[in-house]
Amino acid sequence: MSRNELCYCGSGKKRKKCHKEVHNNSYIEILSNLYEAIENEKTYNSRDKEHPCKNGCFNCCYDAFIISMLEFEYILYDLRKNHKEIIEDVFNAALEGEKLLKEQDPELLNYFVKDATGLDARMESREANQKMINKRPLPFVCPLLDKEKGKCMVYDNRPFICRIRGNTHTYRHTVQDTKICDHILSSKQNAKDTPFIHEGYFDRVELLNLAKYGNQYLSFRRFPIFFWFCIYKQKNERRGKEMYESLLPDYFIKPEGTISFTDVVPHEI
């Protein structure tokens, strides 16, 4: 796609006047197209369903779910491009959250801080989901939430887990019937009400988080949204850059499968 053709985002503008920083077939463009496909599938599969998740509810925004660096770069790009006036407040909210977590749940914070260099993050995430962070609430809300409106400030560019209704998502093969939150009292009923998301989308999101490491591919470690803000502030200060600058611009340029694990170590904090 040339810079004079229509932008991938669907704005109707030419790429050079819209997302000019995002190259054709780059990681960011692939992620954006994947998000769009997921939304289309959700719309198609939500017909005749009445899910209890409603606008204005943000129970999930207290959960310590983890997202990839690529997903965070996508969020940060949206903040730089469309929300420059609030970006400092968002960073400050994340930093205040880190302080609060250090006081109230130091074990969980230490889990995020610990160095996982060289670990396969797929194993790391499974351990985390089982033992540390799955449905473990934080003592503060996501820094991207507009608390007055009860809405996400980057809703159109929210990460994958938020697109499948956060930690309320229930698979159809669930066996035990449990309460999910105050609004979802039955996990079995929730499985029936949740729009089906093909497992291939989960796999594609995982594949985008892979990077070359010698003769193999490993996953970058993932973190909660608030912690990514803390990482970016600290690492950008070391570089003499603004806290909201990208730490891996190659995501906007390179095609999938070409980024090396040694290009960046996101958990170095």
Place of tokens 């985390």: 128
| Inside any domain, residue 194 | no
Please state the pTM of the whole predicted model: 0.84
| Inside any domain, residue 161 | yes
| Inside any domain, residue 174 | no
Q: How far apart are the two ends of the chain, measured CA to CA in Å?
A: 38
Share of the chain above pLDDT 70, in %: 74
Count of structural domains within the chain: 1
Instruction: Give Cα separations from 224 to 46, 124, 161, 246 (angstroms).
Output: 28, 14, 11, 17
**pLDDT, tens digit, for every residue of 137-181?**
899 999 999 988 888 999 999 999 888 765 455 555 555 777 767
| Inside any domain, residue 88 | yes
E strand or H helix at 126: helix 121-131
User: Which residues constitute the domain of residue 255?
Assistant: 17-166+201-263
| Inside any domain, residue 24 | yes
| Inside any domain, residue 96 | yes
Selection from 102, 101, 80 nearest residue 91 by Cα: 80
| Inside any domain, residue 103 | yes
| Inside any domain, residue 21 | yes
Look at 5-19, 39-53, 55-69 and tell me which has the smallest mean pLDDT. Answer: 39-53
**pLDDT, tens digit, for every residue of 178-234?**
776 777 767 777 666 665 666 677 788 888 988 887 788 878 888 899 999 999 999
